[in-house]
Structure 1
Amino acid sequence: MILTSRLSIFIVFLMIFTSCKNENNALEAEHTINLSDYEKHLITLSSDEFQGRKPFTIGEEKAVNYIADEFKKLGIKGAYGDSYFQNIPLVEQNFTPDDTISIATKDGDVVLEKTKDYIARTPYLDSIVNIKNSEIVFAGYGIVAPEYNWNDYEGIDVKGKVVLVLVNDPGFATQDPKLFKGNSMTYYGRWAYKYEEAARQGAKGIMVIHATKAAGYGWQVLTNTSSSGISLQAKDNNHSKCALQGWITDTACKNLFEKSGLNFDELSKQAISNKFKAVSLNCDLNFTIKSELKFQNSKNVVGIIKGTEKADECIVYSAHWDHFGIGPKHNGDSIYNGAMDNASALAAMLETAKAFANLKEKPKRSIIFIAVTAEETGMTGSAYYAKNGVFPPEKTIANLNYELLLPMGRMKDVTITGFGQSELDNYVADAAKEQDRYIVEEAFPENGMYYRSDHFSFAKVGIPSLFIKGWQDSRAHGKDWAKQQIKNYWETAYHKPADEYNPETSNLEGCIEDAKLFFKIGYKLANDDSYPTWNEKSEFKAIRDKSLLNLKK
């Protein structure tokens, strides 16, 4: 008994010693995250020298080489043997749609002006695309959602036609929490889904009706970046998609409806019911889009720290390196530097990576750090990696994604975009508590941010994914001040040349705290034995459950 008792005491002592040792190991590494190194990354990546970091440009070359060099300096290995680069087969399109569209309606011609009234592009990898005599149909929100007993295409054949659909979803329009997810946008509210569904229905084209409040951004955000696009190369040249993908202003749409003998406001109200039936405007669209095509590889930058015990499992950190390059001038400036979107986040990922690299004892699970291309044009780089990753989805424990860290100083909150989706919320809560912070759901769920950054690519293949940052409650200035800072950013800088770093008006302490938060969460996940799961009501749970069956075979 004495021997057993002594053995038990020794085991307890050993466990305490090991726990303290691991904790000290993590704290020492975390303390290497610092403002000086962070700011250096931010200044460099958002400088004019990097020309807005657009794929296929000198900006890409400078950005990906800088990130790879930083990984190398930290001692983080390339994920592809001696290389840090995953080649992504992309095609860049520069669009030239007709300057005007003339539509013959019941009460006379309606003329739509490019940029002022509409924007348009084509996913077809063809030099010219013609839309000829395509009937225009109003299809409500353009949603088919059996779980909500909803089908806006029921009873109408839109094959070969052009559909007009409202942005967002009926929950936002009604603010009814029992309809879809109320004020929180679902994926059904995103333009990407609407494009996908229109194609499944056989439509020739689709135009989303823009309204600033429902979209979550103004018309200028769209027009700034409408002349070009980047997509994955496709064997069918994307002919399975709609030939026309575009937007039309609500003002222009109202005029078109009125000239067609229809009441736009009344039909929009009817569209919030699942009894709504699509309506033809009894007029046709004739339209041409020309495209200049550039086929080329872009690059994801991928570094890896191999795990010590479960090297075949991984945690993935992600942040996109791209922005919009050189574009239309605003206030004399044409370089879209993307300081907050997304150089600030890249800098935070590099600092988190440094902390992992400085661990004296590396974690049990492997860690992947990936700077992805082409987020701004449809999360293309992350979508490619999610399906062609270093580790398969069933061996990828979680994704932690950095996006839009604003220099507002230290925050009391940790905002979880997509709050309630998975058990990862619990990991965030524990790490936030260590920083004397609290977790909170996003303030503007109607903007659909969970579907607008690279974590969504991982979620779509079933990998539990996080999108977090301090966003709502400033330690120094409070909630109203933070809300105003966010508002100012959306209105004056988002996707504009004004997204630049100004050290005189910036406080980076909160960004440093967020980088440390990411480290705390990833370190715990990397040393756990468990697999965090999606919550029961998450749309991604079934995908994850199916992929995990591979582990049992």
Structure 2
Amino acid sequence: MKNTFFNLISVIPFAFVISLVVVALIVNGGCSPENEQNSVETLLDSAITEPDLQEHIQTLASDEFEGRMPFTEGEKKTIQYLENAFKTTGLEPGNGDSYFQAVPLVEIEAMPAETMTIEGSDESVELDYREDFVALTRRVTDRVEINNSELVFCGFGIVAPEYDWNDYEGVDMTGKTAVVLVNDPGFGTSDSTFFKGNTMTYYGRWTYKYEEAARQGAEGVVIIHNTAPAGYAWNVVQSSWTGKALYLKSEDGNQSRCAFEGWISQQSARQLMEMATIENYLGQARKPGFQPIPMEMAVNLTMDVAYQEATSQNVIAKRTGSERSDEYVIYSAHWDHLGIGKPINGDSIYNGALDNATGTAVLLEVANAFSQLEKVPKRTVLFLAVTAEEQGLLGSAYYAENPIYPVNKTVANINMDGIHFRGPMKDLTIVGYGQSELDEYAETVAKEQGRYIMPDPNAEKGYFFRSDHFSFAKVGIPALYASGEYEQAEQGVEWTRAKMDEWTQRDYHQPSDEYIEGEWNLAGMVQDAQLLFKVGYQISNEETFPEWKPGSEFKAIREQSLSDN
């Protein structure tokens, strides 16, 4: 065989051999990392553009889309627009042969009695609804009655094994009501090694406290309000925890949740602590080894409840991977806003241009870029536009709890919410900086763009837990939430902060959140979209899984999930 091979070579013209070598060199050069990077850069210049972003934003934030509220004509128009956009790019349906995932929701209006009575052995007190307390229920029922439910002061209401912390240690909460503090023990201590100091952890979020009380079997749970650690005043509690609200509907009609969830004012809490003779309750709750304290009093409360069930839609598309198609990278953005509401200055349509037509537009443009790649990513890339974020991250929570693709095969989530329009930015602000290795992915691309990384300057407000990436983090999937918002390239930090503050005070969740031609500069949005594309593109072609960093409250969840692979 060897002799036959060399005999064949001897009769091939030398010039032809040289030609084969040249062709091989050209092909190999074409597949080099440098050439591949140049190809991606060229693609991004045409696939993610200001005119295309502008068109998506103007359409989604137009009056025709009626503020994109779930269950309205605005939803129908929005999800049809998204489906058509995905089809136009050639992306496959993400849920079997459908681009939709039905999200069962229930709208509940809890109507508490005007007073909540607290009875002790020697005295009792009546707290006034809205003035002293607010309460609601997630249970699908006509009425809630709380009779003589024993109050237990449970510190911060936290069970955190990684901090060796259990505020429910040794107490059976069945039929009882937990009284807990807002935020977590580290806030206000200036000790970054105690939990995370002033940076809020997952355990400080009010949603966690309600969930943990339910896991403990409590009948009710009330959070003691305090403006500084909460990040908002009592009037925000009064407006946000009253009236109608949407929730995910579970098979048991949410009966596994506490019968009631609520807040009490700080003044009312002090009164109750005095009645219970509990001194320095904040100081006690901060001490390691804190034990829950029975308050020797009970709560009585009734609530009439009205509810109706309905279904909204997540929209999902995919590009199937070439080698590891059973591993997934998810891009997400919420398509919904607040719909038609109270008129302000004669305008009743809450258009939601920044919040979140921008993120949705970036999602569509990133999807467009992936669809045009000549070299298919090795992993499958998903594009998920979720519903009901404004009602409590419900669409993303439903996906995380009912995943179309396995959680332990989902490599990372990249979320886009509120991408600003102030022009090119020097920074990339990462909300939740220090949580996962995705920080380093983002930093590498940011440096390529001549930008620097900025940790969230308002980490104490818990923004990491207030957009859809958090739903993925809760089930262990590393998540990135980042955009330029700290330093405009030409105007600087102070100008940028002033503009951001102005928008927040004037336009946040107002009809005035509209696209204004001539005022919006989308150059920074293009930067962010291209950066987020590159981060996902790199991850989609790797073999490793990005990890949570030591100290992250989501690390153990992920490790347990991956052990099931």
Amino acid at match of 1:362: V
* CA 1:517–1:166: 2 relative to 1, 3 Å: same
Q: Structure 1: how far apart are the matches of 2:147 and 2:58?
A: 49
Aligned to 1:424: 438
SS, match of residue 80 in structure 1: coil
**What CA distance in whole angstroms lies between the structure 2 residues aligned with 1:252 and 1:160?**
22
Q: Which moved more, 1:508-517 or 1:319-328?
A: 319-328
User: RMSD over aligned Cα, in angstroms?
Assistant: 3.0
SS of 1:366's equivalent in the other structure is strand
CA separation in 1, counterparts of 2:271 and 2:224? 12
Distance 1:146 1:305, change over 3 A: closer
Structure 2 counterpart of 1:113: 129
Between stretches 135-144 and 495-504, larger displacement belongs to 495-504
Equivalent residue, structure 2, for 1:318: 332
Alignment match, 2:221: 206
1:46-445 equivalence runs, <5 A = 46-103=61-118, 109-114=125-130, 116-154=131-169, 156-226=171-241, 227-257=243-273, 260=275, 266-327=280-341, 334-445=348-459
1:23 is displaced (CA, Å) by 2.5
Aligned-partner Cα distance in 2 for 1:274–1:549: 31
The structure with the larger Rg is 2
Distance in 2 separating the partners of 1:465 and 1:156: 35
The one-letter amino acid of 1:235's match is E
Counterpart in the other structure of 1:541: 555
CA distance in 2, matches of 1:403, 1:16: 39
Does structure 2 retain, via aligned residues, the 8 Å contact 1:25–1:359?
no
Q: Letter of the aligned partner of 1:78 in structure 2?
A: P
Give the corresponding residue for 1:513: 527
1:100 deviation in Å? Answer: 4.0
Offset of 1:350 from its aligned partner? Answer: 1.2
What amino acid sits opposite 1:420 in the alignment? Answer: G
Gaps of 5+ in 1: none
Identity among equivalent positions (%) equals 46
Secondary structure, aligned partner of 1:528: coil
- TM-score normalised by length of structure 1: 0.89
Distance in structure 2 (CA, Å) of the matches to 1:332 and 1:242: 41
2-side partners of 1:12 and 1:184: how far apart?
54
**1:541/1:147 CA distance change after superposition, 3 Å:** closer
Choose 330-339 or 239-248, whichever is displaced more.
Answer: 330-339
Residue equivalent to 2:7: none
What is the SS of the residue equivalent to 2:31? helix
**Secondary structure of 1:26's match?**
helix
Counterpart-to-counterpart distance in 2, 1:378 and 1:328: 20
Q: Distance in 1 between matches of 2:123 and 2:327?
A: 64
Q: Counterpart of 1:425 in 2: which secondary structure?
A: helix
Please tell me whether the aligned partners of residues 417 and 449 of structure 1 are also in contact (alpha carbons under 8 angstroms). yes
Q: Secondary structure at the match of 1:206?
A: strand
Cα distance between partner residues in 1 of 2:349 and 2:307: 23
Question: Is contact 2:115-2:126 (8 Å) kept?
Answer: no
Could you tell me how far 1:188 is from its partner in structure 2?
0.8
Residues paired across the two proteins, number: 546
Aligned counterparts of 1:529 and 1:320: Cα–Cα separation in 2: 29
Deviation per CA, 1:444-490: give whole Å up to 9, x if none: 11122222222222223332221111122221222233334444444
Distance 1:107 1:216 in 2: 33
Instruction: Check the 8 A contact 2:117/2:124 in 1, yes or no.
Output: no
Please give the secondary structure, in 2, of the residue aligned with 1:170: coil
1:408: Cα distance to partner? 2.7
Conserved 8 A contact 1:110-1:256: no
- Contact 1:152–1:274 under 8 Å retained in 2: no
- TM-score, structure 2 as length reference: 0.87
CA contact (8 A) 2:127 2:268 kept: no
Unpaired runs of at least 5, structure 2: 1-13
